[in-house]
């Protein structure tokens, strides 16, 4: 009997206005279970990281005068994917029902007999003014607001906009996608009774680090925007509430943060990028995540690690050199039906504070923590603590340096090196990456390990584009790898941790800024 195909499901999801932090919890959950993500131009690429690595990603973005796919074809694609039994997230900038054509897609799905759900998103009509310090309503100033498409040509006879009522009947007007038609919009407003001196604002890339706000008036908006060279995407806001920006602006003040306006490329694995990204963004950077490595199981499928775990009582010391090593060790320990008690009398070493913190999460305090967070430092930390011919377990990356086990053996120790995980190359579009670097779209590239350097340089294939950007390395080992494979690093952290890397990058930018100001 032929097996019946499971029914598919489509989630029409609002991605919010741009800041990934404004994504809803439900939207995140939908992404995490999606088989396919069909996404728009205005949906932040950072949001896609919540999707499974195995999820198919389909870009159908539409920009002014350039449509990757027609709306009818997008709707047909959603129907087809669902009929294949897939869980589909249709990720749309802002909210699906606020000029997002989510209604059209929902109707098409219903007519095709496909199940769907709507997941509302934070609309740019409210969020973008808020980030600019402009409330769309305010007691005693504005008791009504309207969200209007600015994409419609207001001069065409069949216009659906009621200009007379809009111009004078609503306190605050928010025009989405209206920059291109700004001369016609402002002319229609004044023609229908809105005073030319009414305060107005144009906000470009709202809620994102590159947000820019131009305060103007209805009468001068078109000329001011043209002079400033503001391009879409932007919203046009009209009303007395714009005057409140002087007191309520807050996001603009973040421009004083040390990394504001800098675009930083993070090459860490997808699972580990979030901590570095969050710290960089807190200092004002715009982060582009492009993992050059992926963390997975070793070639022996954990055979050597499982064997060592089965005989943990034989070891005097267990040394961890990374957070990944801790995570995979305890994962296999749990799989074996054991917990931290299986370590018995074995003492434990951690190569750095992040690794030590990872151990604490499992109830283990490191007995040895070097001052220098690398293999050489661990050797110093172990001096005087190793009994003669001690048996030591070293669960670590499959391709790690041999200096630590070699030196321990020189001191008469018995060392079992087992592969706890492997770092492999993550898929990278080398042509797009080279173009991005060569065009000056990235200010800094960060490297947090030698493996991120190796896989990044290998994927690039040509070091010339990398020479056009500045590089920041987490420590001297990573810096040496970059030096050998590509170029002299511009920044090397003195403290070999993620916070140390961010601190070094911020200090470099501050020094660079001071030097420019002194010229």
Please identify every residue annotated as catalytic.
40, 62, 177
User: How many CB atoms sit inside 10 A of residue 476's CB?
Assistant: 17
Q: Which of 120, 124, 125, 150 is nearest to 18 (CA)?
A: 124
CA–CA gap between residue 308 and residue 376 (Å, rounded)? 24
In 3D space, the residue among 455, 451, 453 whose CA is nearest the CA of residue 472 turns out to be 453
How does 363-390 read in b/e, with b if 16+ C-beta sit within 10 Å? Answer: ebebebbbebbbbebbbebbeeebeeeb
The Cα 132–Cα 148 span in angstroms is: 19
Give the DSSP letter string of 182-241: HHHHHHHHHHTT--TT-EEEEEESTTSTT-EEEEEETTTHHHHHHHHT--SSEEEEESGG
Of the chain, the end-to-end C-alpha distance in Å amounts to 80
Instruction: Write out the two tokens for 496.
Output: 């070999």
Pick from 269, 231, 244: which is nearest to 425 by CA? Answer: 269
**Residue 324 and residue 327: Cα distance in Å, rounded?**
5
Q: What is the CA radius of gyration of the chain?
A: 28
Q: What single-letter DSSP state applies at residue 480?
A: H
Angle between helices 71-83 and 102-111 (to 10 degrees): 40
Please report the DSSP string for 265-307 in residue order: EE-S-TTTHHHHHHHHHHTTPEEEE--SEEEE--TTTTHHHHH
Tell me the torsion sign for CA atoms 324, 326, 329, 332: negative
Please list the alpha-helical segments (H only) found in 313-423.
Answer: 323-335, 353-360, 375-381, 403-410
- Name the strands in the sheet holding 36-39, side by side, starting at the edge strand that comes first in the sequence: 56-59, 36-39, 87-92, 9-14, 115-119
Half-sphere exposure of 73 (CA within 13 A, CB side): 9
Cα 96 to Cα 112, 117, 308: the distances in Å are: 19, 11, 53
**Is the CA virtual torsion 259, 262, 268, 274 positive or negative?**
positive
Measured CA distances, 423 to 139, 249, 322, 416 (Å): 57, 45, 12, 20
Distances (CA, A) of 169 to 143, 163, 243: 11, 10, 19
> HSE of 82 in the Cβ direction (CA atoms, 13 Å)?
26
């Amino acid at each position: 009997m032929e097996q019946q195909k499971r029914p598919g499901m489509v989630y029409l999801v609002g991605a919010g206005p741009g800041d990934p932090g404004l994504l809803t919890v439900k939207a995140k959950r939908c992404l995490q279970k999606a088989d396919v993500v069909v996404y728009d131009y205005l949906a932040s690429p950072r949001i896609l990281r919540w999707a499974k690595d195995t999820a198919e990603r389909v870009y159908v973005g539409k920009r002014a005068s350039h449509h990757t796919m027609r709306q009818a074809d997008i709707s047909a694609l959603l129907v087809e994917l669902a009929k294949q039994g897939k869980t589909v997230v249709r990720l749309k900038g802002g909210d699906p029902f606020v000029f997002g054509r989510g209604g059209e897609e929902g109707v098409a799905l219903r007519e095709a007999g496909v199940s769907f759900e709507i997941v509302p998103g934070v609309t740019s009509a409210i969020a973008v003014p808020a980030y600019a310090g402009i409330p769309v309503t305010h007691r005693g100033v504005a008791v009504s607001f309207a969200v209007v498409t600015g994409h419609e040509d207001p001069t065409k006879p069949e216009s659906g906009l009621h200009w007379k009522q809009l111009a004078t009947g609503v306190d605050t007007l928010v025009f989405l996608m209206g920059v291109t038609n700004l001369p016609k919009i402002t002319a229609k407003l004044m023609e229908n009774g809105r005073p030319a001196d009414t305060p107005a604002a144009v906000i470009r890339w709202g809620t994102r680090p590159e947000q820019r706000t131009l305060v103007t008036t209805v009468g001068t908006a078109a000329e001011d925007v043209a002079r400033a060279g503001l391009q879409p995407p932007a919203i046009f806001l009209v009303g007395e509430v714009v005057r409140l920006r002087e007191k309520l602006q807050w996001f603009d003040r973040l421009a004083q943060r040390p990394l504001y306006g800098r675009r930083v490329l993070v090459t860490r694995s997808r699972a580990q990028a979030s901590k570095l990204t969050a710290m960089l963004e807190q200092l004002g950077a715009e982060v582009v995540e492009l993992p050059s490595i992926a963390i997975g199981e070793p070639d022996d499928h954990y055979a050597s690690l499982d064997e060592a775990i089965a005989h943990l009582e034989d070891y005097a010391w267990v040394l961890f050199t990374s957070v990944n090593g801790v995570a995979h060790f305890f994962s296999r320990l749990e799989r074996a039906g054991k917990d931290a008690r299986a370590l018995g009398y074995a003492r434990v070493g951690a190569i750095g504070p992040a690794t030590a913190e990872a151990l604490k999460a499992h109830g283990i305090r490191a007995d040895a923590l070097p001052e220098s967070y690398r293999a050489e430092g661990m050797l110093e930390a172990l001096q005087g603590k190793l009994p003669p011919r001690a048996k030591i377990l070293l669960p670590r990356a499959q391709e790690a340096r041999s200096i630590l086990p070699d030196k321990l053996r020189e001191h008469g120790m018995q060392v079992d090196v087992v592969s706890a995980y492997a770092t492999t190359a993550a898929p990278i579009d080398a042509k797009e990456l080279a173009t991005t670097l060569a065009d000056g779209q990235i200010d800094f590239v960060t490297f947090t390990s030698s493996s991120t350097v190796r896989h990044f340089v290998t994927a690039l294939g040509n070091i010339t584009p990398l020479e056009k950007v500045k590089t920041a390395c987490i420590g001297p080992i990573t810096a040496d790898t970059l030096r050998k494979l590509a170029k002299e690093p511009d920044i090397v952290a003195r403290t070999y941790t993620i916070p140390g890397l961010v601190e070094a990058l911020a200090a470099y930018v501050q020094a660079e800024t001071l030097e420019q100001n002194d010229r």
